């Protein structure tokens, strides 16, 4: 990861004892994380207090004289410091000088780690004991770490208050959310402390849209959840509701998800640039054998691991949905652009297709609008090829497979309990990976 370091030396005399001083330094553009450390040329009886101030004069945090190294980022900051993007400007270190008998020289080293666009695995839809999940947030975060996730969005039902607590971890980005849950439809609100102050109750579409609009006005992103689920689908007027994304894949793959996928594809054919996401809707595992968190996983191509950059990638459809964190992965690229982005169409233009962790025998299909321009059974765990784009519109890809006898039997046994009307239906091909489109204009 690209980084640079600066050093600042500051000498304090015996006359400077028991006073506070500011040590200014400039943070460059495009910084994702910064590390501040210091050493003194003497140790006997020396104590230097440490604190940090934003460019606007607000205090970010403080740690007294014991801590000699801190880290600041939007994902995680050292205890005593506020998680924050190290945005460009003149920051200040607070130096509190204690007991320098003959003076002391303090050398500060500041390392800037710059943003670099990369793929990050996460789950956009999870629940804790703050609503109807069975894990405390801390346990859910531990579970996500064991799954190898880079980000986690906690979306407890109708819970404004639980979101007030800041959960941070240096190894995973925790994003605040809430699932606005009404009898006629559910939607996730991502990325804000509190979507609205009013009670969540909405008995009319007007009341529901008013709450959702307040959440949007406060900076939240809205994703419609499991719109065609037979158990708790969307029954509000869908075309009259403003939203930023749609959950085309909710929890374990099932017929309702295929219905949503087909609806989404029709929206794309109409020219609607509607981002698709997946979310596990995790509440609990069953019988000690399931591992449902991050099934599916939404993999975003984000500028950094900050909450803001991850949410921007979701909003811009810079994402791919796969069955689990270690599931098959497809990458589409054309002239330096990837999913969610647009390319100027011209004669002989081609899109590159790369895949990893693929399963032999699964079907890879690539769509150019409503035309399937590639359809082949996968023969190896990795692929890398290119193919021409026939017309303006979009290119997207998906991988599917047909359940065999044992898997079909087990599926029907589960569905009998949860969605009885699906128990005897023939199974369509189920998805194991879905990309968002690249747009050609």
Please write the tens of the pLDDT for every residue from 354-400: 999 999 999 999 999 999 999 999 999 999 999 999 999 999 999 99
Over residues 94-120, mean pLDDT: 92
pLDDT of res. 210: 97
CA angle 177, 182, 184 (to 5 degrees): 130
Mean pLDDT of the chain: 95
In angstroms, how far is the first alpha carbon of the chain from the final one? 34
CATH number for position 332: 2.60.40
Q: Is residue 195 located within the same domain as residue 316?
A: yes
Count up the domains in the chain and report the number: 3
pLDDT of res. 164: 55
Q: Is residue 77 located within the same domain as residue 187?
A: no
- Which of 276, 282, 283, 280 is CA-nearest to residue 300? 276
Q: Is residue 414 located within the same domain as residue 315?
A: no
Q: Which of 99, 114, 129 is the last residue of a domain?
A: 114
CA gyration radius, the chain: 25
pLDDT of res. 10: 96
CA angle 284, 289, 291 (to 5 degrees): 50
Q: Is residue 319 located within the same domain as residue 440?
A: no
CATH number for position 159: 3.20.20.140
Q: Is residue 322 located within the same domain as residue 229?
A: yes
Q: Is residue 186 located within the same domain as residue 77?
A: no
Q: Is residue 340 located within the same domain as residue 315?
A: no
Q: Is residue 262 located within the same domain as residue 404?
A: no
Q: Judge contact between 12 and 75, C-beta under 8 A.
A: no
Q: Which domain holds residue 438?
A: 328-441
> pLDDT for 230-249, tens place per residue?
999 999 999 999 999 999 99
Q: Which of 52, 80, 114 is the last residue of a domain?
A: 114
Over residues 276-284, mean pLDDT: 98
Over residues 185-207, mean pLDDT: 95
The Cα 238–Cα 272 span in angstroms is 14
If pLDDT is split at 50, 70 and 90, which confidence band does 289 have?
A: confident
pLDDT of res. 166: 81
Q: Is residue 220 located within the same domain as residue 265?
A: yes
CATH number for position 106: 2.60.120.380
Q: Is residue 321 located within the same domain as residue 226?
A: yes
Helix (H, G, I), strand (E, B) or coil at 169: strand
Q: Which of 67, 85, 114 is the last residue of a domain?
A: 114
63-67, 223-227, 331-335: least confident range: 63-67
pLDDT of res. 163: 54
Q: Is residue 336 located within the same domain as residue 415?
A: yes
Over residues 74-98, mean pLDDT: 96
Q: Is residue 191 located within the same domain as residue 323?
A: yes
Over residues 266-272, mean pLDDT: 97
């Amino acid at each position: 990861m690209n980084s640079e370091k600066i050093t600042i030396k500051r000498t304090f005399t015996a006359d400077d004892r028991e006073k506070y001083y500011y040590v200014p330094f400039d943070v460059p553009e495009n910084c994702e994380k910064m590390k501040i450390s210091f050493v003194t040329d003497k140790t006997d009886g020396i104590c230097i207090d440490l604190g940090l101030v934003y460019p606007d004069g607000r205090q970010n945090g403080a740690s007294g004289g014991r801590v000699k190294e801190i880290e600041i980022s939007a994902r995680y900051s050292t205890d005593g410091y506020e998680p924050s993007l190290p945005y460009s400007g003149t920051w200040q270190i607070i130096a509190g000088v204690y007991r320098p008998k003959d003076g002391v020289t303090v050398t500060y080293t500041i390392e800037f780690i710059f943003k670099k666009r990369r793929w990050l695995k996460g789950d956009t839809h999870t629940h804790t004991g703050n609503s109807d999940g069975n894990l405390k947030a801390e346990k859910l975060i531990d579970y996500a770490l064991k799954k190898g996730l880079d980000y986690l969005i906690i979306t407890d039902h109708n819970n404004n208050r639980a979101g007030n607590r800041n959960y941070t971890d240096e190894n995973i980005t925790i994003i605040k959310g809430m699932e606005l849950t009404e009898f006629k439809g559910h939607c996730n609100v991502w990325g804000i402390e509190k979507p609205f102050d009013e009670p969540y109750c909405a008995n009319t579409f007007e009341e529901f849209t008013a709450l959702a609009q307040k959440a949007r006005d406060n900076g939240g992103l809205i994703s419609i959840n499991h719109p065609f689920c037979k158990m708790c689908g969307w029954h509000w007027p869908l075309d009259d509701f403003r939203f930023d994304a749609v959950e085309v894949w909710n929890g374990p793959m099932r017929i309702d998800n295929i219905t949503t996928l087909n609806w989404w594809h029709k929206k794309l054919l109409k020219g609607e640039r509607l981002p698709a996401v997946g979310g596990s809707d995790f509440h609990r595992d069953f019988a000690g054998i399931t591992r449902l968190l991050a099934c599916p996983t939404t993999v975003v191509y984000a500028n950094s691991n900050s909450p803001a950059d991850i949410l921007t990638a979701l909003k811009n459809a810079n994402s791919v949905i796969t069955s689990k964190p270690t599931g098959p992965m497809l990458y589409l690229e054309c002239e330096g652009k990837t999913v969610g982005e647009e390319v100027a169409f011209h004669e002989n233009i081609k899109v590159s297709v790369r895949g990893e962790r693929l399963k032999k025998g699964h079907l890879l299909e690539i769509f150019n609008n409503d035309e399937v321009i590639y359809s082949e059974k996968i023969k190896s765990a990795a692929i890398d090829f290119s193919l021409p784009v026939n017309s303006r519109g979009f290119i997207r890809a998906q991988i599917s497979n047909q359940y065999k006898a044992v898997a079909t039997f087990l599926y029907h046994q589960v569905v009998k309990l949860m969605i009885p009307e699906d128990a005897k239906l023939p199974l369509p091909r189920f998805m194991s990976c879905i990309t968002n489109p690249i747009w050609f204009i």
